[in-house]
Structure 1
Amino acid sequence: MLRRSAGGESVEQIQPDLTIPTGKRKGHHPSVASMYRALTEHAKREAYPEAVEQARADFAADRTSAVPEPRPATSDRASL
C-alpha cells in the first residue's frame, strides 16, 4: 500500500487489490477508512520515531512493574 500510494495511486484504487490475511474479516478487503488510519499511523511513526520508541519503553516498563497492594481498610470511614 505504501509503495503504491507513494507512486500516486489513490487509496480507493488500491483498496480492491488488498485482502485481509487473518482474523474475523479474513478474505475481505480492508475499508478505505482503515487504510487511511494505517497511512496516518505510518506517517506519525516516520515523523516522530523517538516518540514511538519512548512510548514502547514506557509501555514495557508499565508491564513489568508490580501491581500496587490495596490500601488497608480503615475502621472509621466517617473521618474520610
Structure 2
Amino acid sequence: MLHTVLQRRAGGESVEQSQPDLIVPTGKRKGRNPSVASIYRALAEHVNREAHPEAVAQAHADFAALQVNEVPGPRPAIPDRTSL
C-alpha cells in the first residue's frame, strides 16, 4: 500500500485521490479502504525510517535479541550530529 501511495504521489496525485483505490491487506480492516489519517501516518513512518536507518537497524537487532530471550545491554551514546 505504501509503495502505491509513494508512486502515485510522485505522479502528482494527492493522498485523498489515492485513498479510494487502496485496500488494507491484513488485520481487522482487511479488504477495506484505509483512512486518510492511516495513510499519512504510514508516510510519516516511512520518512522517519529513511532519515534514521541506523535506529531502525538497532531496533531490529534489539527485537531479534528479545525473541531469543536475550536482554540487549546498554549501548554507547551516539554523539549528536549537530555537536560534531
* TM-score of the superposed pair, with normalisation by structure 1: 0.72
Unaligned runs of 5+ in 2: 72-84
Aligned partner (choices 30, 35, 39) of residue 31 of structure 1: 35
1:47 partner amino acid: A
What residue is the counterpart of 1:75 in the other structure? none
User: For the residues of structure 1 that align with 2:65 and 2:20, how far apart are their CA atoms?
Assistant: 40
Identity %: 70
After TM superposition, list the pairs within 5 Å mapping 1:36-75 onto structure 2. 36-65=40-69
CA distances 1:36-69 after superposition (whole Å, capped 9, x unpaired): 01001111111111110011101111222259xx
User: For the residues of structure 2 that align with 1:21 and 1:61, how far apart are their CA atoms?
Assistant: 28
Aligned partner (choices 15, 20, 24) of residue 11 of structure 1: 15
The number of equivalent residue pairs is 67
CA distances 1:4-57 after superposition (whole Å, capped 9, x unpaired): 112221110100111123332222110001000100111111111111001110
Closer, same or farther in 2 for the Cα pair 1:15/1:63, shift >3 Å?
same
Unaligned runs of 5+ in 1: 68-80
Structure of higher CA gyration radius = 1
